[in-house]
Chains A and B, each alone.
Chain A
Amino acid sequence: MGAIKGFNARLRALLFPRAAERALNDEIQFHLEQEIDKNVRLGMSEVEARRQALVQFGGLTQTREAHHEVYAARPLEELAADTRYTLRTMRRTPVLAGAAILTLALGVGANTAIFSAVNAVVLRPLPFPNSSQLYMLWEENPEKGWYKQVAAPANMLDWKEQVAAFADVMAYSDAFGTSTLIENGEPTIVRPAFGTGNFFSVLGARAALGRTFTDAETWRTGQSIAVLSHHLWRDRFSSDRAIIGRTIQLDGQAVQVVGVMPASFDYPHENTDLWQPWAWDPRNRERVSFRRAHWLNVVARVKPGITPEAANAQLQAVVKRLQRDYPATNRVMGAGMTPLHEFLVGDTRLPLLVLLGAVGLLLLIACANVGNLMLVKAADREREAALRLALGAGRSRLVRQAFTESLVLSLIGGVAGVSLGWWGTRALQAMQPAGMLRVSHFDFDWAVLGYVLAITTISGLLFGIAPALWSSRRSPQDALKEGGRSGSQTRRMRRWGERLVIGEVALALMLSVGAGLLVRSLIRLQHVDPGFDPNGVIVARVELPGARYDTGEKANVFFNRLEEQLRGLPGIEGVGSVSDLPLRNTGYSSDFTVAGWPAGTYGSEVVHRRVTPAFFQTIRTPLVSGRALTAADAANSVPVVLINEALAKKHFKGENPIGKRIVFDKEPDSTSVWRTIIGVVKDQHQTKLSIEPVIEVFEPLAQSATNGMSVLARTAGDPAALGPAIRRTVAELDRSLALSSVETLNQVRATSLARERFLTTLLLLFAGVGLALAVVGVYGVMAQMARRRVREMGIRLALGAQANDVRWLVVRNGLRLVVAGLVIGTLGALAATRAMQALLFGVASRDPLTFLAVPVVLVMTALVATWVPASHASRADPATALRAE
């Protein structure tokens, strides 16, 4: 309380020095008048009374001075003075100040950009009310190796009804590809998400216009409805408020628009264009398929006040009961819950944290560099500081001044850094692989600004430490002697500089090793054989609306005709189609058993894809044995199937699978379709290059129809140039079809590596900047040393040393620092890169090659950095050098 009052008085005195002075004058004036009155009353003459009063009071000026000293608001006044002083010196040495500010701005800017991503993706809660109550519910099956997998609808409904701890449970999926919206006769591809009727209410989201779904609309109501996303409403319906209640044409079906969501709602994905309720047939509930097929993302809202442990215990009780009641489907089916945010962030978290660590290192390097600059500057002003010490300035006063200087510098650097970071944030958004960062929630907020302020202040203190400690330890006698160039002073100052350089090199090594590991990992990935030849192939995704292509026959006819037409285009070498593109997604999976296997034995998780006969030839995946599909494998001929090598190896060890009959049921019955294996093809990587191919079968489209196919065309020329011709051909066959995407197979391959490339590029960029800063640091210290020892070099040369010897002397000194930094950095890197293991492919986090190669690169760069000052020193003219100083 008192302290606050005291501070207020100081602040007033600082801000209104005149007012404080006037008050004091009034007070003294009053005092003197009282005294004079008293003296007059005691019988003195007016003149004598005044004289006596003044004598009694003592020196007026002293009082004012003393008063001022007490009141002087010293710390604040000093701060203001130091700040002014700093700004003045910065104007005097603009290059030095500019270099320091730029270095800091780089460090702070990189941190700002990465932290804003971490903040948006990892730290900020989901944009739903009470989002901590939301949990993702998932299923697991140890026998099939399922973990955190999508759930079966019947199980989901049982959880919803039987787990009392859940306020409500909803389910959604966006894995149903795309739909075609026809508006004013113009087709557009849209991405729908399907959900239960309570999809929006569980999340706590309201419509901006109209309404969301009702719980009853989970089931068939006879009326198809949809809720539009804000962007679809804006772009395709010109933000027409009369859209509510209107009917739109979706996949040839009439669908009534009941609502429009606000722009902020983008669950489950940013590019979700509209939402539709499942409209399940109520009879499904009793069908075994409703419990056998797993395809739902399930989100539960836990009742307020109930712990997740309690909720999970109730869930497990229901899961146990289901295992007992439905042994055919649920015998080993487990379930669990994960906070929704954690589940969604999942695999983005680690890369972001690694990047945050990298920019942290970068900032430290920047601090060390600026610390070095400050030291150089302090050394140049050594005499001034010594003089001040000798004249009685307190050491603490000098330390305080050193810190004020660094804080002022770091604040300016911080402001520049935020601007750079703002730009960097935009760049990150533009560069990021689709869907990695939640772009719409990606912005500066108080958390980002607070973080920037914190790192700016911390940097200022960090790089202020060296000059401050140094200035507090110097003795004025030494400093004044010989113009502040006494041996002990220089040595102490040099040691500080050297420590900083060692630190910088160590940090730069850690950064570079991290980047090196990622580069090695990316190269490994790029050399993985995808199982096909991606060069010269263009891919178009065609989704046929189910309303008009309502039989497999119609779809098959369409795709055959499309392939025929495309083959007629000039420059086409081959055309084939597949239901699911490799390196993009897998088809559905099932159990299977083979004729001749002991009863009750079966395999699990075989992936299904549909292909046209020319697919493997077009994509150049070789047939290993057996025969290829032909047009003769038609709907009415013997059901056939191709298998991949992984399946042949895993389940037909030493046997020839050709001619064996396979069925995709655990326990085949009279309705099961037996297919004859006619050939084995080489493995294709189904989802990612980093994931080993899984067992797979390929059914001919003619015998196993689907409405969505990716059509591939191979050409000797530039595949991308085929795009317009393909679009034209599709439009000629069906005017109301829109292609959801046309891209080259190489683009598909690149997209599958986008995350890895993104992370590697960024880390490489940060390591490059870090390395450059470290090299500048090495150069600075070596140049400084060479300059200070120019006289010594002159003597050496005069005494007959060769230029080479002198050069080597400087280089050796530089290398000593670099090697010390490398040793420390290697230890640090060994500890730090362990956290990256999960991001690496085919490379150990202690990869010897990286740990050898990166230091070599660093040493080479450092050599260049020391070479310049070294050759400078070796050219020292003995005569001039000896006369210097």
Chain B
Amino acid sequence: MQNPSTDVLRGTLDLLILKTLTLEPMHGWGIGQRIEQMSRGVLDANQGSLYPAFQRLEQKGWIDSEWRTTENNRRAKYYRLTPAGRRAVGTEAASWRRYVEAVEFILQTT
């Protein structure tokens, strides 16, 4: 936590959540942990901002949710990708890559 952390842009957060959920359905805390782990602590999502993002994605129909019991017998809300969400991961990732390339290009040329 002492690491310098990067604020995650809104649109990026959505993409990261979707990507994380391609593996398996997860609850909110788990998603936050996974994002942090996978980015090796670089991306430290403001955990509070995860929840509005879940609602956004749910409204778009890309994820849906249900209440389940965890392995330690706690009730938690699990999110999982819908088929539309699975398709969206591809297109969102592609547009993200284009964006990164464009920024990289500008950084190199100037």
Contacts and interface: CB of A to CB of B under 8 A. Distances in A.
A239 B59 CA distance: 65
A598 interface: no
Contact of B59 (A1, A10, A24, A57): A10
B48 A2 contact: no
B69 to A, nearest CB: 11
Closest 9 CB pairs of A and B: A2-B61, A58-B48, A6-B59, A66-B52, A34-B29, A63-B48, A70-B55, A31-B29, A58-B46
22 contacts: A1-B82, A5-B61, A6-B59, A6-B61, A9-B55, A9-B58, A9-B59, A23-B77, A27-B76, A30-B27, A30-B29, A30-B75, A31-B28, A34-B30, A35-B29, A38-B33, A57-B46, A63-B52, A67-B51, A67-B55, A70-B56, A71-B55
Interface string A811-845: 00000000000000000000000000000000000
A28 B27 contact: no
A5 B76 CA distance: 20
Interface of B: 1, 27-30, 32-33, 46-49, 51-52, 55-56, 58-62, 64, 74-77, 82, 84
Interface in A27-64: 27-28, 30-31, 33-35, 38, 52, 56-60, 62-63
A5 B66 CA distance: 13
Interface residues of A, number: 31
B64 A5 contact: yes
Contacts of A5: 58, 61, 64
B1 A56 contact: yes
Contact of A2 (B30, B75, B82): B82
B49 to A, nearest CB: 7
A24 B55 CA distance: 10
Contacts of B1: 52, 56
Contacts of B29: 30-31, 34-35
A716 interface: no
A56 B47 contact: yes
A395 B61 CA distance: 29
B48 A60 contact: yes
A63 B51 contact: yes
A3 interface: yes
Given A2-B84, A70-B52, 15 more contacts: A5-B58, A5-B61, A6-B60, A6-B61, A9-B55, A10-B59, A27-B28, A31-B29, A34-B30, A35-B29, A52-B1, A58-B47, A59-B48, A66-B52, A70-B59
Contacts of B74: 30, 33
A26 interface: yes
A69 interface: yes
A167 to B, nearest CB: 54
Nearest to A63: B48
Contacts of A27: 28, 51, 76-77
Contacts of B77: 23, 26-27, 30
A42 B32 CA distance: 17
Contact of A62 (B48, B55, B60, B84): B48
A124 to B, nearest CB: 43
Nearest to B27: A30
Contacts of B32: 31
Nearest to B84: A2
Nearest to B85: A2
B51 A2 contact: no
Nearest to A38: B33
Nearest to A61: B48
Contacts of B61: 1-3, 5-6
Given A1-B84, A56-B1, A31 B60 contact: no
B76 A30 contact: yes
A242 to B, nearest CB: 70
A9 B55 CA distance: 9
A2 B62 contact: yes
Contacts of B76: 27, 30
A62 B1 CA distance: 22
Given A5-B64, A30-B29, A31-B28, A67 B59 contact: no
Nearest to B32: A31
A51 to B, nearest CB: 12
Nearest to A35: B29
Nearest to A71: B55
B52 to A, nearest CB: 4
A5 B51 CA distance: 18
Of B1, B48, B75, chain A has the most CB atoms within 10 Å of the CB of B48
Nearest to B28: A31
A67 B82 contact: no
A31 B33 CA distance: 11
Contacts of A9: 55, 58-59
A35 B59 contact: no
A59 B46 CA distance: 10
B60 to A, nearest CB: 6
